[in-house]
Amino acid sequence: MEGAQEGVYLKTTLDNGLRILTTAMPHTRSVGLAFFVGVGSRYEADAQAGASHFIEHMVFKGTEKRPSAREIATAIEGIGGVFNASTSHEITAYWAKVAAPHRSVAIDVLVDMLRHARFDPVEIEKERRVIIEEINLTLDTPDQLVYLLIDELSWPGHPLGRDVAGTRESVSALDRQALLEYIRQYYVPGNVVISLAGQVEHQAVVDELAHLLDGWHDGERKSFLPAVDNQTSPRLRVYYKDTEQAQLCLSVPGLRRLHPDRFVLRLLNTILGEGMSSRLFLEIRERLGLAYSVSSYINTFEDVGTVGAYAGVDPARIQQAIRAILSEWDRLRREPVTQEELDKAREYLKGRLLLQMEDTFSVAAWFGQQELMSPEEVLTVDQVVAELDKVTVNDIQRLAQQLFVGSKLNLAVVGPFENEEAFGDSLSWL
């Protein structure tokens, strides 16, 4: 095995390819730890849709050492810790945060879950019903559903355009053998990063994990289906739902994760729709009174991304809201932002980053996710701050002109609308 100091963290790669990262934060009394697996819903074929998420649920349902979900939960909660997991399009994460003296317990529990989950057939059937109810909840929740619809428009027929949880049909068809085969393909040490931060001593953590994971052999994983931006005209989806409020999402193609302009995009998005001093908030909510909730967002993946805006509005005023959002997009194309506005957004982002890095789990996640997804470019917070400081008002306008193109526009609407015809004109505003 090899060990190396890299920035503010230490990294060791075991002989089987597993990467272990530790970041010492001796002033803290906790340890945050996370196991990042390089797999998510975009790796799934249609028949496997929801497999990554299903597996994430099942590892909490019992191991040989801790046969029930209750025993797993008690192992962490009984020492005052917290733990959870999440599945995205490209990463599955399992994490815990515990008081420093209980670090070894948390490591043992997470290793046990990931390597020795039972996948009991009875528990699989129970959890299948739970996941289907989770899917039903999303479909019944308009402000969640509209995000699914905009993704479908952005990547039609592609795994990135699907719900991470899969569909009711695909989840109903997944069996124990399919889930175990999926684990065999992707849960291999070369596809996993374990990251800890807090009161940790690097070599002790490495020795502990090497012992617990002895015999875990690497393998070859399949890659995902690349996404291609071939959009040449606006796309629209209107989903009828008898609601008091209409939900809308607008989006255009964005940037891949390591695009050179990604720091420009972070600042552009902050100016546009992050916080109560952003342009969308001040215009849509404060000046026009059209929405209680309005924001902008970005998604970045290995090869593609999106830039979008969301609002929940009175159905009678949805056209006005759409035009107002598009007007703000167009304003960014036509007029440079002021230096004062850029500086404010820069300090907002820098402040949020610095506050985030006081938490042990956030630090573990910061380095662990980067090491997994972009090991060739793992940045410290100071390096990110330096990149943000380089961005100019001309960079913001240049990127806005590149991104906000009318032929690339997508609009998803959920609300009491019988047809799409009334929204056709809205797509010509950009």
Q: How far apart are CA 367 and CA 200, in angstroms?
A: 15
Residues in a beta bridge with 195 = 21, 34
DSSP letter at 63?
B
Q: How far apart are CA 38 and CA 90, in angstroms?
A: 6
**Residue tagged 């009174």 (tokens):** 289
Closest CA relative to residue 88, chosen from 189, 159, 167: 159
- Active-site positions? 56
CB 317 within 8 A of CB 420: no
Contacts of residue 352, defined as CB under 8 A and 6 or more positions apart, other chains included, come to none
Q: How far apart are CA 88 and CA 42, in angstroms?
A: 9
Max Cα-Cα span within the chain:
64
Q: How many residues does the chain have?
A: 430
CB 164 within 8 A of CB 87: yes
Contacts of residue 325, defined as CB under 8 A and 6 or more positions apart, other chains included, come to 250, 280, 284, 294, 309, 311
**Residue tagged 């917070």 (tokens):** 381
Q: How far apart are CA 341 and CA 327, in angstroms?
A: 18
Residue type, 255: L
